[in-house]
Amino acid sequence: MTEAVFRETAAEPRTQAVPLSHLSLELGHLYMEDFEAGPKRLRDHFEQVRPWAEAARAAAAARTGGRRPRISTCFLIDDYFTRFSSPAELVPLLLAEAGRAGLAVDYLARESGCAVTGEVPVAQTVAARLVEEPPPGSHGARPPAAQTGWLANGERSPAARAPQAMKTAAAWQPPRETAARRHSVFLDAELWSDDADGRRTWSCPFLAAVWQLGRLGLLRHEGAPVFDPHRPSGAGFPDDWDDLPPLLRLNERADPFAAYRTCSVLPSRFLPVEHAVRVVLDQTDVDRGALDQVAERSARERVTVPDSVADRVSYVFYAGP
Where helices occur in the chain by DSSP H, the ranges are: 32-36, 39-63, 87-100, 122-127, 145-148, 204-215, 271-282, 288-301
Closest CA to 255 of 222, 225, 217, 286: 217
Give pLDDT, residue 137. Answer: 59
Calpha distance 59→278 (Å, rounded): 21
**What letter does residue 40 receive in the DSSP assignment?**
H
Confidence bin at 82 (pLDDT 50/70/90): confident
Q: Is the pLDDT of residue 103 over 90?
A: yes
Give pLDDT, residue 261. Answer: 98
Q: What is the average per-residue pLDDT within 203-218?
A: 98
Q: What is the average per-residue pLDDT within 180-204?
A: 92
Calpha distance 115→275 (Å, rounded): 20
Give pLDDT, residue 36. Answer: 85
Output the average pLDDT for the chain: 89
Q: Is the pLDDT of residue 274 over 60?
A: yes
Q: Is the pLDDT of residue 105 over 80?
A: yes
171 or 122, greater pLDDT: 122
CA angle 249, 313, 76 (to 5 degrees): 35
Single-letter residue type at 185: V
**What letter does residue 220 receive in the DSSP assignment?**
E
Closest CA to 158 of 145, 148, 171, 168: 171
Spans of all domains in the chain:
16-114+208-268+288-318
Give pLDDT, residue 139. Answer: 57
Query: Which of 8-17, 112-121, 277-286 bottoms out in mean pLDDT, i.e. has the lowest?
Result: 8-17
Give pLDDT, residue 179. Answer: 81
Contact between residue 227 and residue 113 where contact means Cβ atoms under 8 Å apart? yes
pLDDT in tens, 21-47: 999 999 998 888 888 888 999 999 999
Contact between residue 78 and residue 28 where contact means Cβ atoms under 8 Å apart? no
Query: Which of 161-170, 235-244, 257-266, 305-314 bottoms out in mean pLDDT, i.e. has the lowest?
Result: 161-170
141 or 120, greater pLDDT: 120
Q: Is the pLDDT of residue 2 over 50?
A: no
Q: What is the average per-residue pLDDT within 82-87?
A: 87
Contact between residue 271 and residue 89 where contact means Cβ atoms under 8 Å apart? no
Calpha distance 253→72 (Å, rounded): 10
Single-letter residue type at 34: D
Q: What is the average per-residue pLDDT within 92-99?
A: 95
Closest CA to 277 of 204, 177, 194: 204
Closest CA to 262 of 193, 196, 205, 312: 312
14 or 151, greater pLDDT: 151
Give pLDDT, residue 172. Answer: 78
Q: Is the pLDDT of residue 160 over 70?
A: no
Calpha distance 179→264 (Å, rounded): 25
